[in-house]
Structures are given as structure tokens and as C-alpha cells.
Structure 1
């Protein structure tokens, strides 16, 4: 999967392509299954992926709506992922076609065309060209007002590449940080991880993620609410990717 870097606040992004950054579970469609960032098959009902192409790979986000990540998190945690009735308000929001050789606008258009029959569980994240800093701030303010997470900006001429790249930038409302997985935390659905400042923290995860943990030393992305002044630990960290 391609992952973005944080925008430094100075680079001119005029002409780059903007799309909304959703607060959900990143998922890669390989033609038959949705795959998590760590390479595990995500347990979703068969009806949920109806309409996705069998011969095209897609990149997207499983999303439950604004300010609803906890509901989606609970769905995976309670292992009711096979019941389609619990997925009524959840969508797979597509934003890229990784195997297409073109630039981002071409890949996005190809992704739109590849979905022949749009189901209520499949959506396409719209895109718009950035007209400058004022335009970027206007869009970010609109997203903030509806409790969104931020904006992803794509270099308009760059191809899809795996890993973190300066051709994909994040402008975020919420705080995210990469941590290093150490081991499972006994007796609870959580991981023991190391923050970038060297402090260890306990990161909440779903029961499914706890059953299929990453390898020691793996990099994970968590969402949190800042650092505690006393301990420098993240406040309420939970795994998102």
C-alpha cells in the first residue's frame, strides 16, 4: 500500500489533487478479498463487497461515517462481522487503483469505471485540484466542521508506489503517529508498543487484530489525543492501521 507523509505546512500544493481523508480501516481489494494494512484478510460479509470487480485491484477505506470509528472498531472487536445487518451504515470508500500505470487522476477515473454496479456499501471518494493555500484551508475547515479527519494530497504526475512517499501528503485534523509493536498485552485486547519518543504505551485493538498480531518490530499507526504532560504517553491510543 502507498502511505503518505505529513505536509510540512510550507510546500506549495497548487495543482495537487485533494481527497478527503476518512477515519476508518484501510483496505486493499485484491479481486476477491479486502486485505488489511498488515496483510490479513478482513472478515466482512460477502454482500458487502458485491459489485467490486474480480479483475481489478482497488485501494480504499472501510468507513462507518463521521465520528463513528468507535462503532466500526466495536464491530470488528465483537466478531459480528458476518452479519450484514450490522453493516447497513458502513461503506468501502474507494480512492485508488494501484495496478493502473497512470497518474492519480487516471487511476481514480479507472477505479470509478471498474465498479460496474454500485452497491449501497461501495462509494468513490471525490477528488478536486488544489487551487492554493486558501483553497486547501477552506476545504479543511469544511471537513473539520463535519468532524472529518483531514485531507490527502496527491502529486498529480506521480504513479502508485508502495510504502511512504513524498508524492502523497497528509493534512490532518486528528493526531496520528507510528509506533513499534512489542508484544501482546495479556488479558486485554491491546498491544504493548513503543512510541517515537521511546516511551512504551498500551494501544487498544480489536479482538480480530489481537488474534492475528503483527510481528515484533512492525510499524503500526495509532490515533491518539495528545501526550500526557507527566508521562509523555499518548492519551487513549488505539490502532487504526
Structure 2
């Protein structure tokens, strides 16, 4: 039996409390791409599985570890997902993919300094498809809300806020936060729960496991086709939700999509 790959060690965002003061944070657009970790030798999905990128793509990457998103542009996630999931990369398709990097994982300096170091690393690589995600300071909560509204109007997904003074740390973080009009998150499928009534004989709900080990049933947001052919056990799915219970479980959660390959 082939052993399962180790999950990539990533820093994961929590939700931004709306109305909070963004002073001390650097703000960037939240890109709707495929998370990709470069360890200096191998490009991996967040699951730890290797990404089948062309040789010219990985050969041009620096020796430094990078964290970022493979990205085609706003509103093109499904197209991108199809490209990066091929076991054999299609060279012509990969020519349109950008690797948008936002951190140097493991560097023992605050995020603000890591951004400066990252800019130097990327500049030295001299590859037009390797780019640093732009960061900016936002003066107050009103300006942050306005920036979110404009970003979404322009076709973006939302914002990411990272405390400039924070050190890198693996796992879910309170210094790395996402700010979106509708909250969403990812969880792993651990079981298919049978349906009842009109859904008898097909999927009723997915039993999902959060990164902290908590589990909950996700039963809404599925098309008839998805209930007949549900996301497989072990896959990573994205769901939307309104808020969380005191125990941290999502309320009013609804299925959004499968993050295939991740």
C-alpha cells in the first residue's frame, strides 16, 4: 500500500471580525486560486500531494520555500483547477498560470520583513509568471469595508489581512485573517450520509471533518447530480456559512464546490 502524503505545513487564515481596526495589518486581495507550497524542490497542494507542473516551471523557482496561489485571474478557478489536476501537464495551458506568492514559510522574522525578503527573492528569479501578491495598509475599518466592496465589485473574492509584526506559525492563525462578504472554509469528507424522502437512495449529507478534528454534517447546497455522484471520501470541499456556534461549528452551512487535487 502506498502511504498517504504528509499534509503540507501551512499557515491558515481565520475570519476577520467585521468592524475591527485594521491598524498594524497588511492587506491584500484574497485570490481564488489553488494553494501551492514550494519547498525548494517540489510544488505541492495543501494536501501534500505533488502538483504536476512542467519542468520549466519548477526549474525556474528559487531554492527558498514559498507559499502562494496558482492563479489564472478573477473568476477562473474552475479553468485553473482543470489545468493543475492533469497527471501530465499541458504545457500550453501552464503558460497562462501565475504563481502569486505571499509568504516565505518558516522565516524567523515578522511578516512585514518577510514581504520585503520575498520581493527580493522573486525579483532575483526574473520570471514574469512568478509574482508577489501586493500588500497595502488601510487606515481604518470604514476604509477596509470600502476596499472590500470595491474588490468584490471588480470581481475579486475578498481580502486577506496579516499582522505585520507576526511571526510565521503553522496551522490556523489569529494573525492571518480573511474578510469576505460571505464566510467560507474548507473541510475534509469523511463519510456519505444517506438521504431520506426525495433524497432516498442518494446523498443526504456529507460528514465533514475540520482541521481541528471537529465533525459536522453538511446537507444543503447540492444539485441532484452531486447527490447522485457526491464528492469522494477524502476529498477537500469548500462550504459557505453564516456564523459559528459557541463550539466553533458552522451555522447554516451550504456546499460550494470540491477543491479537487488539493
Give your verdict on TM over 0.5: yes
Structure 2 equivalent of residue 97 of structure 1: 104
Structure 2 gaps, min length 5: 1-9, 194-204, 210-214, 243-251
Q: Return the offset for 1:89.
A: 1.9
What residue number does 1:199 align with?
Answer: 218
Cα offset, 1:236, TM superposition: 4.4
Counterpart position of 2:212: none
1:185-229 Cα shifts (integer Å, max 9, x gaps): 9xxxxx95438652357798xxxx97xx74xxx9x4515598xxx
Judge conservation of contact 1:60–1:92 (CA < 8 Å) in 2.
Answer: yes
- Counterpart of 1:136 in structure 2 is 144
Asked whether the equivalents of residues 158 and 181 of structure 2 are also in contact (C-alpha less than 8 Å), the reply is yes
Asked if 1:222 is matched to 2:238, the reply is yes
Match of 1:188 in 2: none
Counterpart of 1:106 (choices 105, 110, 113) is 113
TM-score, normalised on structure 2? 0.73
Question: Is residue 12 of structure 1 aligned with residue 32 of structure 2?
Answer: no
Contact 1:26–1:62 (CA under 8 A) maintained in structure 2:
yes
Q: TM-score, normalised by structure 1?
A: 0.78
Residues 60 and 81 (structure 1), Cα distance of their counterparts in 2 relative to 1, 3 Å cut: farther
Structure 1, unaligned runs of 5 or more: 186-190, 227-231
Counterpart Cα distance in 2 of 1:10 and 1:180: 31
Aligned partner of residue 237 in structure 1, secondary structure? strand
Q: How does 1:30-179 map to 2 (within 5 A)?
A: 30-54=39-63, 56-77=64-85, 79=86, 81-115=88-122, 116-173=124-181, 175-179=183-187
8 A contact 1:49–1:122 mirrored in 2: no
Contact preservation (8 Å) 1:27, 1:34: yes
Pick closer, same or farther for the CA change 1:233–1:153 going to 2, 3 Å: closer
**SS at structure 2 position matched to 1:194:** strand
Structure 1 residue aligned with 2:5: none
Q: Distance in 2 between matches of 1:193 and 1:46?
A: 38
Following the alignment from structure 1 to structure 2, what is the Cα–Cα distance between the partners of residues 177 and 164? 12
8 Å contact from structure 1 (residues 14, 132) kept in 2: yes
Following superposition, the deviation at residue 136 of structure 1 comes to 1.0
Q: Report SS of the residue matched to 1:127.
A: coil
Q: 1:10 to 1:136 in 2, by over 3 A?
A: closer
* Residues 161/233 of structure 1: CA separation in 2 closer, same or farther (3 Å cut): closer
Q: Give, in angstroms, the shift of residue 58 of structure 1.
A: 0.9
Deviation at 1:181, TM superposition (A): 1.9
